[in-house]
Amino acid sequence: GNLDWHPEDVFKKDKLLRSQARLYRLGYYNMIGFDPQVKSDDEMDLETKVNERFTGQMSIGAGYSQQTNLSFFASIRKGNFLGTGDTLGLSLTVGSKYRNNSLNYLHRWAFYKPLDLGLNLYDSYVNYTTFISTKKGFSPTLSYEFKEFWRTGVGLTLEKGEYKDILDTASTYIKKQAGKYDLYSTYWFINRNSIDNPILPTRGSDITLTLSAGTGTRDFYKAVFSASKIIPDKIFYTDFIFSVKGTFGFVEKISKTIPLDQLFFVGGDFTIRGFDWGRAGPLDENKDPAGAKREIILNYQLAHPIVERFLWGYVFLDQGKGYDKGNPFSNMYYSTGVGLKIITPFAPIELYYGKVLNPPSGVSSSRFGFILGTFF
């Protein structure tokens, strides 16, 4: 179970914290506390108190980007679907130059084991400046918790797509992608996650290694390693939380062409804040993001509560780049900024302003960002 003790066990603080983290990771509760009731000099009852959160999430709105212009979106996500603990999600996004629809389902504790089974169906259409990309596919997944904090899993993806209506002004790499394609890929990951609360983390670490490969009309092999650490102030015992994260990845072709979606587009909300999407890496002849075969990203953040458990403020420093070859630590880009993290009943929201300290020529040096979810 999620509680790491039994009747007549010896009380241990680390078991209490592990149990609290397990309950938070279910995603069903806003607040979890424990109330010890003393029965005698050497016995006590431990009462668990929880405050349930909305497990359903629904959002409707509109967005604008340089790549896709105006688009409208609607999404619904239901955790603990029908009381089973499963998760069902449906997302629809439609615009004059953009369509991205997906349906996903995650079945937890299959066969009464710590085994999760998932299925994702997707269909997308994007009219970029110099070409149109369409794709549809499905991806079954399986993951297993084999030890405290440790999970491993595998997945398959079957995808059909096409790059069409490519203009003469498109980059050389886009022209190489021209035509229809089939892609059959698989991945394996291993993860150790001891984060205490995925919505508002205050301690723990999260380490993941993912290996993937694909074949078909396109082919590739790829590796991504990421690690983050959440560090509370144990020197002065203030409410400051320091977070650090590193991400490293590479992708290469086997014998054909690397699919465009498998390249690394560094810059933007979840990589180097302050940049527009993909602009902390190679740019093509049109000054559009071209994608990279390598990525290195380092993020540092110092946060402090403004209103406890509701509103946090933070400052950050990001560094890194997307690149194809050479020394990963040379010619890195740097950005810094400030942000607010708002904890809502539905999902955390982050608003930030990022300033690039050494932007490449012709690239915007600052940006306001909005993240539905959490960076750390």
In the prediction, which pLDDT does 373 show? 75
pLDDT of residue 370: 82
173 pLDDT above the threshold of 80: yes
What confidence tens digit (pLDDT) does each residue in 63-92 have?
555 555 666 767 777 777 777 778 898 888
pTM of the model: 0.84
SS3 at position 273: coil
Average of pLDDT values for 294-305?
A: 98
Closest CA to 151 of 187, 120, 179, 189: 189
The one-letter code for the residue type at 235 is I
Half-sphere exposure of residue 12, counting CA atoms within 13 Å on the CB side?
A: 11
State mean pLDDT over 80-106: 85
The average pLDDT across 115-126 equals: 95
Q: Where are the chain's structural domains?
A: 13-51, 128-300
**CA gap 54, 231 in Å, rounded:** 28
pLDDT tens per residue across span 180-238? 999 999 999 999 999 988 888 999 999 999 999 999 999 999 999 999 999 999 999 99
Domain 128-300 sits in CATH at 2.40.160.50
Task: Quote the strand ranges of 217-285, DSSP E.
Answer: 220-232, 241-252
Calculated CA dihedral for residues 315, 317, 246, 210, nearest 10 degrees: 80
DSSP tag of 361: T
| HSE (side-chain half, CA atoms, 13 Å) at 118 | 19
Position with higher pLDDT, 62 vs 50: 50
pLDDT classification of 56: cutoffs 50, 70, 90: low
Task: Tell me what pLDDT residue 210 has.
Answer: 99
Between residues 46 and 121, the one the model is more confident about: 121
How many whole angstroms separate alpha carbon 231 and alpha carbon 338?
A: 19
* Averaged pLDDT of the chain: 88
As given in the structure block, the two tokens for residue 188 are 């394996």
**pLDDT reading at 40 higher than 80:** no
Are the beta carbons of 265 and 251 closer than 8 angstroms? no
**Please, are residues 274 and 354 in contact by the beta-carbon 8 Å criterion?**
yes
pLDDT band at 158 (very low <50, low <70, confident <90, very high): very high
Task: Please tell me the distance from the alpha carbon of residue 100 to that of residue 318, in angstroms, as a whole number.
Answer: 29
Q: What is the CA radius of gyration of the chain?
A: 23
Residue ranges in the chain assigned as alpha helix (H): 13-25, 172-176
Instruction: Identify the residue with better confidence: 73 or 282.
Output: 282
